[in-house]
Structure 1
Amino acid sequence: QGTIHPFTPRPSFIRMLKREIISVLQIPEAKKICLFLIFNIISTVILLLWCHATNSMALTAYTYLTIFDIFSILTCLISLWVQIQRPSPAFSFGYERFEVLAVFASTMLAQLGSFFIFKESVEALLQQPEIHTGRLLVGTVFACFVHLLVTFGVNNRAMNHTAAASSSSWLQEHVSDMSESLCSVVPGLRKMLLPRVNPFLLIALTGGVLLFITYILIDTKLYYSADTWAAVGIAIMMFGTMAPMSIYTAKILLQTTPSHILGQLDKVLREASTLDGVLEFRQEHFWTLSFGSLAGSVQVRVRRDADEQLVLAHVYSRLSNLVSLLTIQIFKDDWTR
């Protein structure tokens, strides 16, 4: 007689994590992304050693871009994991919000890193240390190469969508103003510079320019404070670049309705309210489920003599063009109330 176990034991977290990692690694694209991840981690360790050797706060701030790239690559792996998952009773809409949460966490950690750099820079201004320029320029070029390689070498759907859909940072707006003036003189640059430059490319180039100027000032004038001011500038640019993306993903996590969809939803609901048999809409709620995916629910009160299936089909056909995951509840008018 064996022991009867009425409840099957749940697998441990480590075992579940191992199983999910193995399932993701079976995707051919995931193996390529893991190679980028390993390369990025090794490069970041080398850069941090060079930061310690040069005693440069600006190079440390610039290296934080490669640390952000590590979280960006992990977000890309989470996106692949989401694609192979199916809805479950606990997550009836699927697991797509996990990649939204991953982007939000990555951008928030980058902003926390910029606060740390700003704090350390203020302390360095009070007692400016000596900066060794031996590997400063080499580290700048290497960090820029690693960051651009990861940015354009990995197809990060979540990050690319967030960078394109979020509002422009102050740095992008200033560069766009200058680009419009430049494109009026050289029209051939319009496709590359307008409507706005990729924010990850922009912060890499501007940070690299600041470090190059720092190298020249220290090498020729021994102006060590230039390194600290460059670190402050990179930290401010990092915060300004990541803040719009954090706000965009936070609105998705808070289940808000996109502002650019409100007008279209109001128009469609007004048109649907004129359908034969429809009396009113109640408890309309529409929200962004994930990147490019809108969910919604609505209650429709109809006449007692109305055909419920016909009204349901008409309302669904009107709203389904905007809302991909739609729940409609039809109930008939109660004359007894």
Structure 2
Amino acid sequence: MHVGNGVAVVDMGGMDARLRGTNQVFAGDIDESMQSFQRVGASRYQPVREFLRILTRSSKGRKLLIYLVINLASTAILLAWCQVSNSMSLTALAYLTVFDLFYLLTSAVSIWSYSRCPSSVFSFGYERFEVLAVFTSTMLAQLGSFFIFKESVERIFEPHHIHEGKLPLGAALAILVHSLIIYSSENLPFQHVIQACSSSWLQEHMADVSESLCHVMPGLSRVLLPRSNPLTLLGCASTFCVIATYIAVDIKNYQGADVTAALCMAIFTIGTMWPMSSYTGRILLQTTPSHIIGQLDKLLREACTLDGVLEFRNEHFWTLGFGKMAGTVHVRVRRDANDQLVLAHVYSRLAPMISQLTIQIFKDDWSRSSAYHIINNTSVAPPPITPIKPFNAAAVQPLLPGSGYLPNLTAGTTNSLKAASHNLQPWTSTPYSTPLSTPMKGRSNPS
């Protein structure tokens, strides 16, 4: 049964009723070995062609392709200037434009995922590709920072001469392209992650500085007090480091400023990307967000009070994509309850928060389940059966007084009983006491 946009499943026999698609292969008249290599090569590039066709079909996609060309050209120019200037700080700034390339590709993946419909392979849709794209982009940026950090440490022991002529031009080009991509292109996945993840330490320090400035100049509160974009802060901080390197090398001829600036930029990049990586990583691990656990518990308690609902089992809720939740739950109902009515009520309670919901309903059949448990439980074994001897009523003689029957006693048995009775001593009820003649420690014997 399908209710709304979610999926509601009714299962009376304890089996999941969700239908998974199966790949059916139909044998054709032509053997597969007779296919040409050109057709095989065309099938390999078919997904890329379809991806480009989806991008060029929309105005947003065409605008995104223009930004991709601009970013590739600026990145190539910056990498060429890095070879000429031999500067690690400019190389780190060029890596920031490489991250902008992945930023644009993430936006392209978002456009592609929204144009696709759920299939038998991806029954929940393609929203998780956006999460994977953001996670990949941030992790690659941190990996590039580790390479910058390694090269900078090597240059501490093996200094290189820096040609500072290209540093201001590279800084201006990088911050211009970076700001154009961040503010001109619409990237819904990164915008959601920036708003939902925790603040980076660069944002926290910027917030402290902004509060101090707002105490002096209250008019700047509208501009400085809102949460700053971490990618914009990263671009500004990296550009400032490159400009400081140019000033130190050009005026003071201090070659070590380039290595110091590169190390600072690597630390800035890791500190900015880590909160976004951890947020998307938790989504990929299908964890339940901590801020909605209380709301889910409240909804489940309210749903348990519905007529016919006995309990919920195997409930699992996770984040499917950015701002979209999915979940599965098993509902045990009474045997006389209406399945469709209970299903509709439970779905109406959980659907406002869980967009993709799978509900499996089974009747309360405790007798069958208990018998099935006892049969399958091999640890419970019945006690061994002892053979019962046949009952002989003639061999039993009553010993009740006045019945007229006495047991048959032989002469040997009578003599042994008399001898045992002579050896018995009379029992006295004298309480036990310690003899006075027993010597005690610490006292002298009176005898």
Please give the range of the TM-score, normalised by the shorter of the 2 chains: over 0.9
Provide, for residues 123-179 of structure 1, a one-character-per-residue CA deviation record: whole Å limited to 9, x for no partner: 111121111111111111111111010010100111111111111111111111222
Is 2:159 the counterpart of 1:128?
A: yes
Q: CA deviation at 1:20?
A: 2.9
SS at match of 1:257: coil
SS at match of 1:135: helix
- Alignment partner for residue 236 of structure 1, among 267, 282, 288? 267
2:136 — aligned with what?
105
SS at match of 1:288: strand
1:182 — aligned with what?
213
- Alignment partner for residue 217 of structure 1, among 248, 251, 256? 248
Q: How does 1:75-94 map to 2 (within 5 A)?
A: 75-94=106-125
CA distance in 1, matches of 2:268, 2:259: 14
2:422 — aligned with what?
none
What stretches of structure 2 of length at least 5 have no aligned partner?
1-27, 371-447
**Larger deviation, residues 3-12 vs 147-156:** 3-12
2:348 — aligned with what?
317
CA distance in 1, matches of 2:359, 2:230: 40
1:171 — aligned with what?
202
CA distance in 2, matches of 1:189, 1:327: 50
2:149 — aligned with what?
118
Percent of aligned pairs sharing the same letter:
56
Provide, for residues 59-82 of structure 1, a one-character-per-residue CA deviation record: whole Å limited to 9, x for no partner: 110111100000110111111111
2:79 — aligned with what?
48
- Alignment partner for residue 268 of structure 1, among 299, 312, 316? 299
1:326 — aligned with what?
357
SS at match of 2:208: helix
Closer/same/farther in 2, CA of residues 221 and 289 from structure 1, 3 Å limit:
same
Tell me which structure has the larger Cα radius of gyration.
Answer: 2
2:127 — aligned with what?
96
Provide, for residues 290-312 of structure 1, a one-character-per-residue CA deviation record: whole Å limited to 9, x for no partner: 11110001011111122222211
CA distance in 2, matches of 1:22, 1:149: 25
Letter in structure 2 aligned against 1:4: D
CA distance in 1, matches of 2:114, 2:138: 22
SS at match of 2:320: strand
Q: CA deviation at 1:321?
A: 1.1
Q: CA deviation at 1:6?
A: 8.5
**Larger deviation, residues 217-226 vs 302-311:** 302-311
Letter in structure 2 aligned against 1:265: L
Q: How does 1:157-168 map to 2 (within 5 A)?
A: 157-168=188-199
Q: CA deviation at 1:327?
A: 0.8
Q: Number of paired residues?
A: 335
Task: State the superposition RMSD in angstroms.
Answer: 1.7
Provide, for residues 248-271 of structure 1, a one-character-per-residue CA deviation record: whole Å limited to 9, x for no partner: 111111111111111110111111
SS at match of 1:301: strand
CA distance in 1, matches of 2:252, 2:55: 53
SS at match of 1:167: coil
What stretches of structure 1 of length at least 5 have no aligned partner?
none
SS at match of 1:134: helix
Q: Which structure has the highest helix share of the two?
A: 1
